[in-house]
Amino acid sequence: MKVNCAKSAVAKPTKRKFLGFTFFMGKDDLKRCIAPKSIERFKNKIRILTNRLRGNNVGKVVHDLRVYLMGWRNYFGFAQMPSVLKSLDGWIRRRLRRYLWKQWKTCSRRKQMLIKLGIARVQAGKTAASSKGFWRMAGSPVLSMALSIKYFDSLGLPNLSASNSV
């Protein structure tokens, strides 16, 4: 039997990865965190599910995300790094905002949708006429107000940083 040297070693827990987790020293004790490779794998899967050229409506995308996110949260949700989970939540919402901005395509459609989502007519017009790219627009304050956390909650998108009650 051949031993995989990359996976098998004797070292301090803070220097090794185990089942997708790494460990670090907190103030008093050892804390669990998600391994960087696991986060990168997670982001790659989310990139596939939220690819703006995918051509599905946002309800289908959120449904597919929900299935993946709930399983991922059940496995990694007890990591002791809530800031990482919170930043991943924000990153997922920004990808969805970019997805919707791309789907709305035209200036008039974007303006119409922003007004429908509660943005003032003048502000919606200025935002819709912007020539900035999809990713930059997804981070704009106006789009963040229109497509807020509540909006994505209403679509059924789970939060990774929420308590682990599923």
- Residue boundaries of the structural domains of the chain: 92-166
Convert the pLDDT of each residue in 34-67 to its tens digit: 888 889 999 999 999 999 787 788 999 999 999 9
Q: Which residue has the higher pLDDT, 153 or 17?
A: 153
Q: What's the distance, Cα to Cα, between the start and end of the chain in Å?
A: 42
Convert the pLDDT of each residue in 61-116 to its tens digit: 999 999 999 998 888 877 777 888 899 999 999 999 999 999 999 999 999 999 99
Average pLDDT taken over every residue of the chain: 87
The average pLDDT across 119-137 equals 95
pLDDT confidence band for 166 (50 / 70 / 90): very low
Contact 42, 88 (CB under 8 A): yes
State how far the Cα of 123 lies from the Cα of 106, in Å rounded to an integer.
16
DSSP result, 89-141:
HHHHHHHHHHHHHHHH-SHHHHHHHHHHTT--HHHHHHHHT----HHHHHTSH
- In whole angstroms, what separates CA 138 from the centre of its chain? 13
State pTM to two decimals: 0.84
